[in-house]
Structure formats: structure tokens, C-alpha cells
A and B are shown apart, each in its own frame.
Chain A
Amino acid sequence: MSDLTHLTIAAALDGLAAKKFSARELTNAHITKMGQAKGLNAYITETPDIACAKADASDKRRAIGDKVGALDGIPLGIKDLFCTEGVQTTAGSHILEGFKPTYESTVTTKLFDAGAVMLGKLNLDEFAMGSSNKTSYFGNVINPWKRQGDNTDLVPGGSSGGSSAAVAARIAMGATGTDTGGSIRQPAALTGTVGIKPTYGRCSRWGIVAFASSLDQAGPIARSVEDCAIMLGVMAGHDPKDSTSVEMAVPDFRKGLTGDIRGLRIGIPKEYRVDGMSQEISDLWAKGAEWLKAQGAEIKEISLPHTKYALPTYYIIAPAEASSNLARYDGVRFGLRVPGNSLDEMYELTRAAGFGKEVKRRILIGTYVLSAGYYDAYYLQAQKIRALILKDFTDAFKDVDVILTPSTPSAAFGFHENEDDPVQMYLNDVFTVTVNLAGLPGISVPAGLDSNGLPLGLQMIGRAFDEETLLRSAQALEKAANFTALPAGV
């Protein structure tokens, strides 16, 4: 039997339906490979027993001709930001070490109801705050990709770095991610995988550890646009338990992949040609536009004038919301407690010991911009600029159907690069963060390799709740790019 871990989800579903292999065989192949790939540190918690039980249950359903779900028997990794009943959920933080939720997040409930098999909980930046997976209390995740002729370990992107590394290394067929400023799309771009952040409100946030509630969205990382469409179709949908989840029918995303993009208008935002953009990224972006044009799309230059303000706006809004959301970690109801002589001392010592450096930095920034005397100058101004950024997109979408941009300013980098200056690290999200502020769907598709042999991604941005057109365009891009490269040793 060929290596089952290299199949796409779509192909694996076909193979399972045709009884070419069992869900247990598929799961076992992944568990074996997880054992060989421990050096990547992609999983915080492996759950082989749960995986085998779920795979056996799936095989039984198929054997007796019972109804099977859209992901029946497919082994997936779950970002450790999704609460999973009875299975440790850490958010990559010491403060939640050992936390075993007594409930299951809506998104994972939907995945498991559809027959998905959980291989384990995937590593991430602490509370999803980071772009390199270096801020996890449970250690760095290593990107399976290396520069040609250079054995330096590279980052897998973040915050969904365990998800991207696992999918690229074939130790999960797909994975859940979350994206607050680029945390699905940036790691997907750095690992040669596909990742989509759907429209804000498309997936329920219930049971996902909150970072910045007006920006957070769940989405899949997988190895093809079609696989992302399959997973998103299961993950999406209205949930009364999340008041921001939208009551709207979920289209059949897979069926929408017709391959026909004739007449589609693709926007190229001139403001994304940032200073110092490498020739490689710029060439790839132009090539992407050519690929879409060759398939009948029309290319138009557009303007998103407030683009340069998106990142600083984000670094007010996200920390402000985070400082409020993370107030709940106080050592009283769950998680770490460091004893103190008074209630305040207990809070202060618990939070000092439980949170890492980047999380503390963001809580302090958030507290500052919300504090008396600074609220109007910073927070209110950021909320107004956010409205202008949304208006930029609303105006642009009068003339185009989809927007094409690079996913990231560079390929994967080493663990000690971009280290000294937080602002330098924040620039990783320069192309992705606008999409969160505007609540739009965005997808990253692997489009080529740089001169060091590392994957580069292109991002497409769609209208709110038009993931269908977005996925269709992304598949056209995927087809033309024909990205087949593999990390060495995978």
C-alpha cells in the first residue's frame, strides 16, 4: 500500500468509500508518522486512543452501511485553542496547563459529528499571540521545510504553527486553526499548505479560547483548496451559543468549485506593494495575476488607501480586547494558582507566573490604551480607522469580485531572526491583518518556491460571506501554480 498520509482528504474519502483501506489503517499510518516526527513538536497532546476508537467507530459505520459524515474516518489535528471535552486544552500557556474542559467547542463538535478522527491537540503561540510559534509555553514548533543546503530550523508561522507544520509534515490530513490577524494564512504560506479564514460570523467561536473577540475566526488548514472547502463546510454554521455567529445557510463549498473563473474581476491593490518587498514576492504576485487572466479573469488595479494603518490599528484593537478577555485567568476558577497573602497578590503572582512575555506585553498595551485619559486618543481613534479600512474594501468590491495579494512579506525565517524588535515581528501580518479588521474571508494558497527552495503563498480576499467565489478563484490559482514540492524527508 502506498503511503496513506500523502493522500488529500478528498482522495482519502474516496478510498474509504471504496473500501480500499480502513479508517483504522489511515489513522494508524498517521500515528506511526507522528512518532517519527516528534522533533517538530507540532502536537502538545497526542490522543492515539481517542483516534483509534473514533476510527474503529467510523469503520463500523461503513461496514454496517450506517449513515456516514462528510469527514468520516479522516484523521485531523485540533489547534489547542479549541476546548475538547476531557482532553487537556492549554492555549499554549502555562496558565492553562492541565485544564481539561468539561465541554466541547462547537466547531470540534461539528467535526466529530461528521465522523472526523482527532489525532491530538496542536501547538500554537501562547493565546494565539505570535507569528512564529515561538511564544508557546510548550516549546517551538519546527517547520518541516528547510532552506536548500542549510539545516537551520525555521519557524512554521503562527499562531497556528502546530497546525501548519502537522499538515505539511503529513502527520494530520487537515487541521483546525484560528485567525485573528493572519494566524491561519501566514503559517499556511510558510509551510506550503492551504489555509482559509472565513468571514467573521461564519464559524462559531463558542468553546474557542478567546484572544480578540471582534477579530477571531476559526478555519481549516489542509493540503488543497478542495480539502479546505470540505472542512469549512463542516465547521461553519449558525450557533445560538455565539451571538456573533450568523444565521445563514452554509453553501456546499465543494460543489461550488466549478473551475470556471471566466469574467471574474480580480483586484490588485497598489498599496500592497510595500517598501522593500522582495523581487521574488513581487514576481510571484504578478505571475498569480497572469495565471488567473489566462483562465478568463479580468485583472484590475484597485486602491485600498488605509492599508498602511491596518497593522498599528490592529495592535491597539487586538491587545485591548485581549486585556479584557484574559482578565478571566485569575487563579480562582481554573488553571494555575500561585498562592498570595491577599486576593490581589494571588492575582498578580498567578498572572506573572502563568503568562509569557509576549502575552504580558499585549495585556499591558491593551490596558494602557483602554485606561483613563488614553481611551479616546488610542482606542477610539483605532476603531474609527477600522471603519475606514472596511470602507476601503466595500468601495473596492464595487469594481472587483476577489482581491489578489501576497500572503506574507517573506518565506519562513529562522528562530533568531526578527527577534529583537516586536514591531519587526508584527510586520509578518502586514498583508493579512486588514482582512480581520474588515471581517472578510481570506485564503492563502501555495504558489511557488523562493530561491532557497521555501514555499511562498498568495492570498485571495473575498466579499463577506462569499467564500464560494473565493474558494473557486483560489482553486484556479492552485491549479495554475501546480505546487507539488515536498519538504525534505516527508
Chain B
Amino acid sequence: MSLDSKTVANIATLARIRVPEADLPGLAQELSGIMTWIEQLNEVDTTGVQPMSGVLARDMPRRPDVVNDGGDPNKVLANAPEPAHGFFTVPKVVE
């Protein structure tokens, strides 16, 4: 599988990572190398095999639906880059 610069630019946008234009061809080549190596998985016959998302063959445990944590905004905001008035802040998103 060969990835071109345009595809890599698209993935980078999806992943919200800014990649300078000049770096795209090199990155495309690297990722293509990895994907080509991964291609060998196509030779495995997986007809009828159930996909496995995790190793624990059991249902997720449940707990009572109650509030069991919280009430400490200072702790929550302690590492925020620019907190204000007890909130996280982001650049303006609505004009």
C-alpha cells in the first residue's frame, strides 16, 4: 500500500497534527514502508473468525449509577493551561 502526500495530509488533519508541506513526501514514504510490511496480513484466511477487541471474555462489570466522585473544580483545573473563572478556556469558536 502506497500512501501519497495528499493522503498523509488528510490523515494529519483528521489526527489534528500540523505537518509542514515539506515534510509530507518523507512521511508518506515512511508510512508506506510500514503499511507495505503490514500487507502480509492479507494472506491469512480469516473466514468465519470473530474479531477480538480484548482478551477478557466477559461482560463489563456494572456499578450503581450514582455520583461517586467530583466536587473539586480546583483539582480538575490544576493542570489547565489557561483556566479562567473556574472553567477551561479555548479560542473563540463562534463569531
Contact = CB atoms under 8 A, between A and B. Distances in A.
A380 interface: yes
B11 A344 contact: no
B66 to A, nearest CB: 13
- Interface residues of A, dominant DSSP: helix
Interface string B13-36: 111111100000001001101110
Contact of A332 (B17, B44, B78, B81): B81
Contact of A214 (B44, B53, B63, B82): B53
B11 A368 contact: yes
B37 A312 contact: yes
A384 B49 contact: yes
A352 B19 contact: yes
A89 to B, nearest CB: 10
B79 A360 contact: no
Contacts of A384: 44, 46, 49-52
A201 B44 CA distance: 29
Contacts of A387: 49-52
A44 interface: no
Nearest to B55: A439
A386 B41 CA distance: 11
B86 interface: no
Interface in A361-403: 361, 363-365, 367-368, 371, 378, 380-388, 390
A463 interface: no
Interface stretch (A240-248, A290-298, A406-414): A240-248
Interface string B44-73: 101001111111100011010000000000
Contact of B16 (A312, A344, A422): A344
B93 interface: yes
Contact of B44 (A240, A327, A388): A388
Contact of A349 (B18, B38, B42, B90): B18
B78 A102 contact: yes
A186 B37 CA distance: 22
Interface in A414-433: 421-423
A346 B93 CA distance: 11
A361 B31 contact: yes
A381 B46 contact: yes
B82 A100 contact: no
Given A371-B11, A385-B46, A335 B81 contact: yes
Given A334-B79, A384-B49, A352 B17 contact: yes
A316 interface: yes
Nearest to B50: A387
Interface string A242-285: 01101100000000000000000000000000000000000000
Contacts of A336: 81
Contacts of A332: 80-81, 88-90
Contacts of A342: 91, 93
Contacts of B27: 361, 364
Given A243-B61, A332-B90, A346-B90, A382 B41 contact: yes
B34 A351 contact: no
Nearest to B39: A312
Contact of B52 (A102, A368, A386): A386
A343 B31 contact: no
Contacts of A28: none
A389 B14 CA distance: 31
Contacts of A330: 16
Contact of B38 (A101, A316, A340, A367): A316
A341 interface: yes
Interface in A316-370: 316, 323, 327, 330-337, 339-349, 351-352, 355, 360-361, 363-365, 367-368
A115 to B, nearest CB: 26
A378 B51 CA distance: 12
A347 to B, nearest CB: 4
Given A384-B49, A387-B52, 4 more contacts: A102-B75, A367-B14, A378-B38, A381-B44
Interface of A: 99-103, 200-201, 214, 240, 243-244, 246-247, 306, 308-309, 312-313, 315-316, 323, 327, 330-337, 339-349, 351-352, 355, 360-361, 363-365, 367-368, 371, 378, 380-388, 390, 421-423, 438-439, 464
Interface of B: 3, 7-8, 11-19, 27, 30-31, 33-35, 37-38, 40-42, 44, 46, 49-56, 60-61, 63, 75-76, 78-82, 88-91, 93
19 contacts: A200-B55, A243-B61, A244-B56, A312-B37, A312-B40, A331-B81, A343-B91, A344-B16, A349-B18, A364-B17, A367-B11, A371-B14, A383-B52, A385-B41, A387-B49, A388-B46, A421-B33, A422-B33, A464-B55
